[in-house]
Structure 1
Amino acid sequence: MASTASAADIKRAYRRLVVQYHPDKHGGDVRYEEQFKAVAVAYGVLGDPGKRATYDFQLTQAARRLEEERRRQQQRPATQHVYGVPMPPPAPLRTRPPAGSRERHYQRIPKQQPRFNGRDWLLTLLFIGGIVLVALTVKVTMDRVSARSNYENGLRAYAGGNLGAAYSFLEETLHFRPDYAPALRHHGELELLLQRDPRAARADFLTALQTADLSPQDKSATYYYLGRSEARLAQPEAAEQSFTKALEFDSTRSAARLARGEVRLLDLQQAEKAEADFTAGLAQRQRAGRGQLWHYVQLRGVARTALQRYDAARNDYFEVIRANPKDGRTHFLLGKLAAHTGDSTAACEFYRRAVALGYAYAREAQSRCK
């Protein structure tokens, strides 16, 4: 198109070339795409009067310089030297300024899908593992704090005699820390004393003894209550072993010695060992300044009767009667002791007193009296 073309001619030419080189008409051919972009760039310059004037001026100046350069080259001899060196061939002349960024065509680089390698997987797993470890640490810490708080509340309720509240607090403690031995021990005691469930109590005691959280004194107490649970479950041999274990950890625990004596006397028929346990246990309580347990004094009398130590047995029974004159069972035992020694008159009198005091088991023995 001539440099004198009008704006309307330029616009018509632009529309014609746009239709001619549009990529969609050539199946997306890259060559036509580049020509289409060149047409757009050219129209951007020639369609603007100001840019067109600047372009025409630069083009005129470039043509003038080109003409002058050609004229000088025609006048210069082919063998002309400058400072003894042949002249280099004339460089090609630039006829227009360098293309701007809008005129340049950049080929789009396709995006690559990220791929995980072994190192990336390792870092990811370490990160996830760290998060899980932190979460577990926080949970364990909070569980321990909650368990400790509930355990202390349970001990205060236990000491205050509020066994129901103590049982609830200890249940919460074991919810957060199922293996917390001190809580298991006290929970087992309440299962035995409050809930009257020796089987559940025995399970708590056995679990507590499998941990390393108990002191020797606590182990002694746990074995003692374990023995009481086993005695209620009609397991006298196991109960005797548990009471013996309790005394191994704390030989001053008189309750374990007396309980072992009762099992040995009533279930294992070991009167000699039972009498020794009763005597030692009662002496320990007396030395500690604690009150006498008349039930075990009475049982020692039974053991001494079985061993034919009648005088010692009679002394035990009368000691109990002096402390509790209305104990019908002791009067009945005195009647049986009198029968063993051949004093039927005294035996019948003691049977009569036992019945009068409400001890019904003495009626049959009284009926045999003349």
Structure 2
Amino acid sequence: MFAASVSQNHYQILGVAPTAPAADIKRAYRQLVVRFHPDKHGGDIRYEEQFKAVAVAYGILGDPGRRATYDFQLAQAARRAAEAQRQQQQRPVSQHVYGVPMPPPAPLRTRPPAGSRERHYQRIPRQRPAFNRRDWLFTLLFIAGILLFAMAVKVTMDRVSANSNYADGLRAYVRGDWSAAYSFMDETLHFRPDYAPALRRRGELARLSLQDVHAARADFQAALQQPQSRRLTADLLYQLGRCEAALGRATTADFNYTRSLSLDSTRSITYFARGEIRLLDLHQPALAVVDFTTGLSQYQRTGRKAPWRYVQLRGVAFATLARYPEAWADYFRVLQANPTDGRTHFLLGKLAAHTGDSTAACEFYRRALNLGYEYARTAQAACH
């Protein structure tokens, strides 16, 4: 059951026909490798032997040149076997077998010849089978039943394979093996192309690990076509918004963030993302301040530490609106959390310059440059 039989050829090991195209051979190999991988069976030696046999078979059939040579060898072996069988069938009955002569054939025993009265034959008329409408109906129903049963079996097996691959993909996702997780999710969607959880996970992996924003966007859009809870729909819209923002489509990203928040208004990360795009791309600092403030308030209510980057961005929005005292407060909050952030010192320098305090501005530029923030070099040079 587990080890490949010596009489099996490589096509039988992979479970494909000798005329199968290369794509079918590759698909069969990938499925069998996942099924018989020793790590999935606790190092069972029987699965290990089957795994090795599958690898050897694909090593030959996956290479066009080696496959052609192997096909020629199979054809030669088939011809030799057919020739041997033909010679065996044509061997004379008097031929010696293992040095012992064959016995003569026994005489054919027959009855005496029939008399003249018996030799009278009557032709039996041929009767055509009667195939009525009910027979046709039963035949069609039988064929339809077979087709429905085959479809049900295929759907069931596809669902089982998809669930198994999805579970393996989640385990790889949790342990941080992004490449394996993506492969398992891709295999899941091969069996169930509309499986929303796998589309969502593959989209996340494509965006965060492979940096393939277009592929991630397509997966999130496909997942949104499937029915699911409001919370998951809100998360997919947020993910789609991140893809649109990465592609430079700020207006579309803002629209998706807004749709996400209409379904789940407790998502502080969505408020931050929308505030960032409204501040930096859509140039709407007043709306950005509202989003940053809402997101930070939700963090504080849950007892979590506010992300200093979004406090800093809110300070930038306040400074853009000439609300300088509030901008000062946010920048100093950031410095308390991260005193070595050169960008915050640079922003404080710009704020001091806006309020006419050139001495403080130059000091902040100097600190920012000492902390490695090179964008402060031009502004610091103007202080001399």
Say yes or no: TM over 0.5. Answer: yes
Letter of the 2:232 partner, please give it: D
Shift of 1:321: 1.1
After TM superposition, the structure 1 = structure 2 runs for residues 248-287 of structure 1, keeping only pairs within 5 Å, are 248-287=262-301
Q: Identify which of 145, 153, 156 aligns with 2:160.
A: 145
Shift of 1:128: 2.0
Q: Identify which of 130, 135, 159 aligns with 2:150.
A: 135
CA distance in 2, matches of 1:361, 1:124: 82
CA distance in 2, matches of 1:291, 1:260: 20
Q: Identify which of 309, 315, 340 aligns with 2:354.
A: 340
In the alignment, what sits opposite 2:34? none
Shift of 1:120: 4.2
In the alignment, what sits opposite 1:107? 122
1:193 aligns with 2:208: yes
CA distance in 2, matches of 1:273, 1:299: 12
Count how many residue pairs are aligned between Structure 1 and Structure 2. Answer: 272
Q: Identify which of 313, 317, 324 aligns with 1:299.
A: 313
In the alignment, what sits opposite 2:220? 205
1:365 aligns with 2:340: no
In the alignment, what sits opposite 2:46? none
Q: CA deviation digits over 1:53-92, x for unaligned, max 9?
A: xxxxxxxxxxxxxxxxxxxxxxxxxxxxxxxxxxxxxxxx
In the alignment, what sits opposite 1:316? 330
After TM superposition, the structure 1 = structure 2 runs for residues 34-183 of structure 1, keeping only pairs within 5 Å, are 41-42=115-116, 103=118, 105-112=120-127, 114=129, 119-183=134-198
Q: Give the secondary structure class of the aligned counterpart of 2:211.
A: coil
Shift of 1:160: 2.9
> More displaced, 267-276 or 237-246?
237-246
What percentage of residue pairs aligned between the two structures are identical? 64
Q: Identify which of 317, 327, 349 aligns with 2:363.
A: 349
Assess, with a 3 A threshold, how the Cα gap between structure 1 residues 150 and 290 changes in structure 2: closer, same or farther: farther
After TM superposition, the structure 1 = structure 2 runs for residues 227-242 of structure 1, keeping only pairs within 5 Å, are 227-242=241-256
Shift of 1:292: 1.9
Gaps of 5+ in 1: 1-38, 43-101
Letter of the 1:41 partner, please give it: G
Shift of 1:125: 3.0
In the alignment, what sits opposite 1:99? none
RMSD: 1.9
TM-score (norm 1): 0.70
Shift of 1:114: 4.8
Shift of 1:116: 5.5
1:290 aligns with 2:364: no
Q: CA deviation digits over 1:276-310, x for unaligned, max 9?
A: 00011011012112232111111000000011111
Q: CA deviation digits over 1:130-152, x for unaligned, max 9?
A: 21111110110111111112222
Letter of the 2:211 partner, please give it: R
TM-score (norm 2): 0.67
Shift of 1:158: 2.0
In the alignment, what sits opposite 2:33? none
Shift of 1:240: 0.6
